[in-house]
């Protein structure tokens, strides 16, 4: 199972500085919960994919600005958007994963 520290470390690959304080803990929890559900369904998310999804959630809910991301972070943001749209195309198969990503 992915851990908070692993996700934070993976996140640092995509940012210009430490943005740990800019991301509420709830976002980490949501991504970890979704990661667990996705992997139980055989989707095989890795920690970098989970970090990209964390960036996407944080960005979309106005807790992260594009200027805080490096080039890889901007690519990860784009990837996560496409990936989550693909998950939504099979909503019945992935409903519990997507529910985990929604705010509590």
How buried is 79 (Cβ within 10 angstroms: 0-12 exposed, 13-18 middle, 19+ buried)?
A: middle
Q: What is the pLDDT of residue 4?
A: 81
Quote the pLDDT of residue 85.
86
pLDDT at 92: 57
10 sits in which H/E element: helix 4-11
For 16, 30, 49, 67, 71, the CA distances from 35, given in Å and listed in that order, are: 25, 8, 9, 26, 24
pTM of the shown model: 0.84
Digits of tens for pLDDT over the chain (104 positions)?
678 888 888 998 999 887 777 788 899 999 999 988 888 888 888 899 999 999 999 999 888 889 999 999 999 999 999 988 888 777 656 787 888 888 65
Strand partners, 15: 69
* 68-to-11, 17, 59, 79, 91 alpha-carbon distances in Å: 12, 7, 10, 17, 32
């Amino acid at each position: 199972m992915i851990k908070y520290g692993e996700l934070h470390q993976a996140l640092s690959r995509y940012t210009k500085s430490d943005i740990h304080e800019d991301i509420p803990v709830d976002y980490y929890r949501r991504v970890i919960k979704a990661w667990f559900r996705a992997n139980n369904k055989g989707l095989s998310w890795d920690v970098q994919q989970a970090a990209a999804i964390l960036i996407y959630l944080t960005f979309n809910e106005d807790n992260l600005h594009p200027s805080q991301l490096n080039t890889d972070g901007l690519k990860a943001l784009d990837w996560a958007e496409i990936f989550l749209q693909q998950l939504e195309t099979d909503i019945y198969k992935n409903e519990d994963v997507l529910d985990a990503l929604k705010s509590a």
